Chain A
C-alpha cells in the first residue's frame, strides 16, 4: 500500500554509471587507488570518493599513504598553517554533514579586527555568530600540556578511515607507470600497483622528480617562505585582549602581504605571509606598536613554537595525467588564503571525476581542470587585489579612509557594509577574489570610499573616529 519512492540518490548513481562508461579508463569494482598524503586534500578526497562510490554501489579500495601520526603534540603532528577554516568551508562541510567537533575547533571566530597605524577597527560577522573555525592541524603547539584537543588533519583522516580507506603508514618515494597501472614505491622498498594515483602530498613533495617524468610539461608549484609562531597567553588573557576575533595587521612593511594573529584555546597563532619573509621583515613587524598593542602589557611574549613553511604562489600545471591527479597544495591552491578550502574543492572535484567519469587525462581535463583554472584565474585577480591592498598599506591617507569607512559601517547596523564586506571576504578567504574585486568597482563603494577618504583626512573630522595612536604620538 505504501510504495517506497526510489532513492533520488540511487538514480543519480545510475546516471553517472552511464557517464562513466564513456571514459576510456573507468574504475570498476575492486579498482585500487593510492592517495599520497593525508593532509586535508588526501583525506577529503578519500572520504568523498568512498562516499560517492558507496552511493553508486561501486566497490573501491583506497590506500591512504601518510607516514606521520597527527596525534603527536607539538610540531611533529602539525602540517604548518595558520589553522583558519574559512567561513565558506565551515558552511560547506556542515552541508556535507561534517560538523567539526568541539575538540577540533579551538575557537570559533566572530569577527576580524584590523590594526593599522591610524587605528583599530573590528568587523563583525552578520548575526554575531561564530562562523570561522580556528583549529590545530596537529595536536597543539610545542610543549602544550595535554588538553582536550584533536588534530584537524587527524580528524579528517579518521573520517576517511571510517569510510573504509586503508591508512598506510609509509612515505612514498616514487610513483611510476607500470604497464597499464601506476606503481607506488615506498621508502621501505615495498611496491604496489594501482589504477589511480592521487597526489595530495602538499607543497614540498619529494615526488616532483617522478612527476616530471609522468606528466609531460609538468610545472611544479612555485614557493615562497612564510612564518608562523605560537604564543601561549592563557584563556583568560585571550578573552580580555584578543577575544573571538582574528586580528589582521595592515602595516607599511615592504614584502609583507598579510599578517594575522589568530586566537585559539590557550594560544594565539601568528601568521606572516609575503614575499620571502626574512629576519629584517620580522624585526620590523615585531617592532611595530600596532603589534605590541595586541599583547598584554604591550609586551610580545616569547613564542613557544614556530616554523617558516613554504607556501604555493604558482600552481602546478597541468595537475593531472592518465591515472594521476594532483589535489590540494600539490595541484592548485588559493593564493595566500583558504588553502584548506581549496584542498576541499579540488579533492571533491577530483573525486567526482573519478567516481562518475574515469581516470584518464581526458576525464580530468574535462571535469577537473575547469575548477583548477577557475582557482588559478581567481588567483590572478587575487594578486591584483593584494597589490591594491599593499598600496593601501603604504599610503597613510588611504588607511585612514578605509578605517573611517569601516568604522561608520560598523556603527550603523542597517547601512550596506561595502568596505566591511570587501575586507571580510578578502581576509577570511570566504569569497573568490574576483567577487571581491568586482564589488570594489561598484559605484556605491567607490563613492563611499572617496567620501571617507576626504572626510577622514580633513583635520577636524576625526573626532568621531576610533583612536588614532599615530596621531597621539605625533
Chain B
C-alpha cells in the first residue's frame, strides 16, 4: 500500500484544534445571477414548506415575495432571461441544473394570477422626491426600490408606454404584452407617477428636472442602432433591426420582400430574424464569428433554425449591392478566428479572397445599439456610454443604470437600478451601504455532495408544438410549469451553502452539539453549541449542502 498523494508535513503544522461552524455561503446560482437573486431562498420556501408548516399557496406567496424583493418582474424575466444562474448550478452534473428560470416564471405568473402587490419595506413617507428618466427595467427597478423606501417617484418616458426594450423590442411570442403590463402596472400602484411623451433633453432640460427633484436616475438604455459602415449602406432596403422590431411592436408592418439577410448575432439579430420569418420572408443570418461565440443563447439559435432560418457563420458584409437605388444583395467576406483580444475573445479576421454574393430584398442591421441622448454627454471612448461608480453614481444627485452604462441584459439593468437605489438611499439617509448579497464566501463545490440527493429529473420544458410556431406567429412558444412540476423542481434545489434540514448533523453529532430551533425556517433549523463540539468533522463531512464548515479553515 503506497502513501502517494498524501500530503505530509510535521504534525503540529496542522491545526489540531478544529471546530465546526455553521456558515451561510453564496451559492453558484446567486453568484452567477447579475441581480444576485436569492434563488436558493425562494426555492427553499417551497421545497421546505412542510418543515415550516406552510400550505402550498402560502409557500408560493412567500416565495414570490422573496423573489420580487430583488426583481419586480419575475414573470417577465422568467421568460426572457438567458439565465446565467443555471450555468453553474451544482445540480448540473447530477441530472441537470435546476430550472430556475422556469420556476421564476411560474412564480411570476402565480403573483399575477393572485394579483399580489409589491411589498413595501415599512419605511415612512419621505420628503426627498425622486425623478427617473426612462422606463426600461433599470428605471423601473430603481423606481420600485425607492418607492418602497418611502420616496415619492416620478418616471419620465419619451414614448407613450413604459417598459423600454421589454415593451418596444422584444417580440410577443417571447414576452406577451399582458404579462408585461401586469408586472409594470404593479410598480405604478406604488407611489410612482408616470409622465409619458416627454423626452428629457429635448422637451425638458436635465437642469430643469434637477431643480424639480432631489435626486435623478438615468435609465436611458441603448436605444440607437449602430450602422455597418460599409459601402452602399445608405438607401432603401437597409433597415436597423431595432427600428424594425420597435415598429413591429407598435403595429407598423413593413414590407421586407421575400429574402431577408440579418447581420448580427445577438438578441436583436435573433428577434429580427425570427420576426422577419413570421412576416413571411426567407431569412439568412450573417455572423462574423462562429456559433459558439454568438451572444444569443443557444436555445434561441436552435429555435431559429427550427423555424427555417439559415445561419452563415464566420461571414461579414463587405458591401451592399444595389441595382440603382434598389437593394440587390450583399457581398460577403468569409472570416476566420484569429488572435485573442484583451477580453480573451478570438478576433475574426478576413480570409483573403474568400467572398461571395448573397441576394436580398432587405438587410436588417442588428450589430449593436448605443445610447442616443441629448443633454448629457458620456465621456468614454464609446462616446455615449455613461461612466459611473460601481453603484451607479454620476454626481451627488445623479445616478444611472442599465444599458446606458454598457450593453447588457434585463437582469443586469434591474440589478443596477436596485443597487443605485440602495446606494442613493444610504446616501440620503447617511447610512452605511448595505452588504452586497454575494459578500458571503462562495460555496466550495467540493463541499456540495450531489450524491446525497435523490435523483429527480429536470422538468421537461413545456412548449407549444413546433408546427404551430409560425402558423400562430405571435403567441408564446414556451409555457409555464404546472404546480406539480414546480414543486418537483423546487425540491431539486440542493440548497447549496444553506441548511435545509436534512437532519444529518443533528443525528450524527456524538457531542449532541445541535439543538432544534423552535421557530424553524430555511437556514435556521439547528443551533450549534460551539463549546460542545468535539471536532470530529462528522457534520462537515455529512452536510450535503456545504453549510457546515471548519472554523479553522480547510486543514481539517
**How far is it, in angstroms, between the C-alpha of A227 and the C-alpha of B534 when the chains are bound?**
9
Which of A232, A237, A279, A309 lies in contact with B510, CB distance below 8 A?
A309
A164: chain B residues at CB < 8 Å are none
Segment from B1-9, B76-84, B111-119, B439-447 that makes contact with A: B1-9
Which of B12, B511, B516 lies in contact with A204, CB distance below 8 A?
B511
Which of B13, B16, B536 lies in contact with A75, CB distance below 8 A?
B536
Per-residue CB contact flags for chain B residues 2-34 toward chain A (1 = under 8 Å, else 0) read: 110011111111101110000000000000000
Q: Does A386 contact B (CB under 8 A)?
A: no
B1:A307 contact, CB within 8 angstroms: no
A306:B538 contact, CB within 8 angstroms: no
A283: chain B residues at CB < 8 Å are 12
Which of A232, A307, A308 lies in contact with B3, CB distance below 8 A?
A232
| Identity of the chain A residue whose Cβ is nearest the Cβ of B11 in the assembled complex | A300
B534:A310 contact, CB within 8 angstroms: yes
**How far is it, in angstroms, between the C-alpha of A205 and the C-alpha of B511 when the chains are bound?**
8
Question: From residue B17, how far is it (CB to closest CB) to chain A in Å?
Answer: 6
B172: chain A residues at CB < 8 Å are none
| Identity of the chain B residue whose Cβ is nearest the Cβ of A145 in the assembled complex | B1
B1: chain A residues at CB < 8 Å are 234-236, 266
A76: chain B residues at CB < 8 Å are 508, 538, 541-542
| Identity of the chain A residue whose Cβ is nearest the Cβ of B10 in the assembled complex | A300
A80:B510 contact, CB within 8 angstroms: yes
A304: chain B residues at CB < 8 Å are 6
Q: Does A78 contact B (CB under 8 A)?
A: yes
Q: Does A12 contact B (CB under 8 A)?
A: no
A302:B6 contact, CB within 8 angstroms: yes
Q: Does B532 contact A (CB under 8 A)?
A: yes
A187: chain B residues at CB < 8 Å are 503, 506-507, 516
| Identity of the chain A residue whose Cβ is nearest the Cβ of B533 in the assembled complex | A308
| Identity of the chain A residue whose Cβ is nearest the Cβ of B513 in the assembled complex | A204
Number of cross-chain contacts by CB at 8 Å: 98
B535:A306 contact, CB within 8 angstroms: yes
| Identity of the chain A residue whose Cβ is nearest the Cβ of B14 in the assembled complex | A302
Q: Does A389 contact B (CB under 8 A)?
A: no
* Size of interface on B: residues with Cβ below 8 Å to A: 32
Q: Does A365 contact B (CB under 8 A)?
A: no
Per-residue CB contact flags for chain B residues 144-161 toward chain A (1 = under 8 Å, else 0) read: 000000000000000000
A307:B536 contact, CB within 8 angstroms: yes
Which of A142, A287, A299 lies in contact with B8, CB distance below 8 A?
A299
B510:A306 contact, CB within 8 angstroms: no
Q: Does A282 contact B (CB under 8 A)?
A: yes
**How far is it, in angstroms, between the C-alpha of A38 and the C-alpha of B220 when the chains are bound?**
68
B450: chain A residues at CB < 8 Å are none
B512: chain A residues at CB < 8 Å are 204-206
Per-residue CB contact flags for chain A residues 297-331 toward chain B (1 = under 8 Å, else 0) read: 00111111111111000000000000000000000
B12: chain A residues at CB < 8 Å are 282-283, 286-287, 300
Q: Does B537 contact A (CB under 8 A)?
A: yes
Given A67-B508, A76-B508, is A286 in contact with B516 using a C-beta cutoff of 8 Å?
Answer: no
A229: chain B residues at CB < 8 Å are 16
Per-residue CB contact flags for chain B residues 498-512 toward chain A (1 = under 8 Å, else 0) read: 000001001110111
A308:B7 contact, CB within 8 angstroms: no
Interface members, chain B 500-556 (any A CB < 8 Å): 503, 506-508, 510-512, 515-516, 532, 534-538, 541-542
| Identity of the chain B residue whose Cβ is nearest the Cβ of A202 in the assembled complex | B510
Question: From residue B531, how far is it (CB to closest CB) to chain A in Å?
Answer: 11
A68:B3 contact, CB within 8 angstroms: no
With most chain B CB atoms within 10 A of its CB, the pick from A80, A142, A205, A308 is: A308
B506: chain A residues at CB < 8 Å are 171, 187
Q: Does A457 contact B (CB under 8 A)?
A: no
B538:A75 contact, CB within 8 angstroms: yes
B11:A232 contact, CB within 8 angstroms: no
| Identity of the chain A residue whose Cβ is nearest the Cβ of B540 in the assembled complex | A75
Q: Is the interface of A mostly helix, strand, loop or mixed?
A: loop
Which of B507, B536, B542 lies in contact with A309, CB distance below 8 A?
B536
A75:B6 contact, CB within 8 angstroms: no
Given A187-B503, A299-B8, A302-B7, is A307 in contact with B537 using a C-beta cutoff of 8 Å?
Answer: yes
Q: Does A79 contact B (CB under 8 A)?
A: yes
Q: Does A250 contact B (CB under 8 A)?
A: no
With most chain B CB atoms within 10 A of its CB, the pick from A79, A142, A307 is: A307
**How far is it, in angstroms, between the C-alpha of A252 and the C-alpha of B18 when the chains are bound?**
26
A299:B16 contact, CB within 8 angstroms: no
Interface members, chain A 127-151 (any B CB < 8 Å): 142
B537:A75 contact, CB within 8 angstroms: yes
A305: chain B residues at CB < 8 Å are 537
B16:A227 contact, CB within 8 angstroms: yes
Question: From residue A189, how far is it (CB to closest CB) to chain B in Å?
Answer: 10
Q: Does A200 contact B (CB under 8 A)?
A: no
| Identity of the chain B residue whose Cβ is nearest the Cβ of A283 in the assembled complex | B12
Q: Does A432 contact B (CB under 8 A)?
A: no
B3:A237 contact, CB within 8 angstroms: yes
Q: Does A74 contact B (CB under 8 A)?
A: yes
A75: chain B residues at CB < 8 Å are 536-538, 541
Q: Does A233 contact B (CB under 8 A)?
A: yes
A299:B537 contact, CB within 8 angstroms: no
**How far is it, in angstroms, between the C-alpha of A300 and the C-alpha of B11 when the chains are bound?**
5
| Identity of the chain B residue whose Cβ is nearest the Cβ of A147 in the assembled complex | B1
Question: From residue A223, how far is it (CB to closest CB) to chain B in Å?
Answer: 10
B7: chain A residues at CB < 8 Å are 302
Given A76-B541, A76-B542, A235-B1, is A299 in contact with B10 using a C-beta cutoff of 8 Å?
Answer: yes
A310:B511 contact, CB within 8 angstroms: yes
With most chain A CB atoms within 10 A of its CB, the pick from B7, B8, B10, B510 is: B510
A171: chain B residues at CB < 8 Å are 506-507
B11:A307 contact, CB within 8 angstroms: no
A78: chain B residues at CB < 8 Å are 536, 538
Question: From residue B8, how far is it (CB to closest CB) to chain A in Å?
Answer: 5
B515: chain A residues at CB < 8 Å are 206
**How far is it, in angstroms, between the C-alpha of A204 and the C-alpha of B14 when the chains are bound?**
27
**How far is it, in angstroms, between the C-alpha of A299 and the C-alpha of B2 when the chains are bound?**
17
Question: From residue A200, how far is it (CB to closest CB) to chain B in Å?
Answer: 13
A232: chain B residues at CB < 8 Å are 3, 6
A67: chain B residues at CB < 8 Å are 507-508
A142: chain B residues at CB < 8 Å are 537, 541
| Identity of the chain B residue whose Cβ is nearest the Cβ of A78 in the assembled complex | B536
B2:A301 contact, CB within 8 angstroms: no
Question: From residue B555, how far is it (CB to closest CB) to chain A in Å?
Answer: 9
**How far is it, in angstroms, between the C-alpha of A187 and the C-alpha of B503 when the chains are bound?**
10
A68:B507 contact, CB within 8 angstroms: yes
A303:B535 contact, CB within 8 angstroms: no
Question: From residue A153, how far is it (CB to closest CB) to chain B in Å?
Answer: 12
A303: chain B residues at CB < 8 Å are 11, 14
**How far is it, in angstroms, between the C-alpha of A378 and the C-alpha of B534 when the chains are bound?**
28
| Identity of the chain A residue whose Cβ is nearest the Cβ of B536 in the assembled complex | A307
**How far is it, in angstroms, between the C-alpha of A202 and the C-alpha of B509 when the chains are bound?**
12
A-B contact pairs, 27 of them (CB 8 A): A67-B507, A72-B542, A74-B537, A76-B538, A78-B538, A80-B536, A187-B507, A187-B516, A202-B510, A204-B511, A206-B515, A233-B3, A234-B3, A266-B1, A279-B16, A279-B17, A283-B12, A300-B11, A301-B9, A303-B11, A304-B6, A306-B16, A306-B18, A306-B537, A307-B534, A308-B17, A310-B511
Give the 8 A-B CB pairs with smallest separation, nearest first.
Answer: A307-B536, A300-B11, A67-B507, A206-B512, A234-B1, A75-B536, A75-B538, A204-B512
Interface residues of chain A, those whose CB is within 8 Å of chain B, are 67-68, 72, 74-76, 78-80, 142, 171, 187, 202, 204-206, 225, 227, 229, 232-237, 266, 279, 282-283, 286-287, 299-310
Given contact pairs A80-B510, A229-B16, A302-B9, a sample of 14 additional A-B residue pairs in the complex whose CB atoms are under 8 Å apart:
A67-B507, A68-B508, A171-B506, A202-B510, A234-B2, A235-B1, A300-B10, A302-B6, A306-B16, A306-B18, A306-B536, A307-B536, A308-B535, A309-B510
Interface residues of chain B, those whose CB is within 8 Å of chain A, are 1-3, 6-14, 16-18, 503, 506-508, 510-512, 515-516, 532, 534-538, 541-542
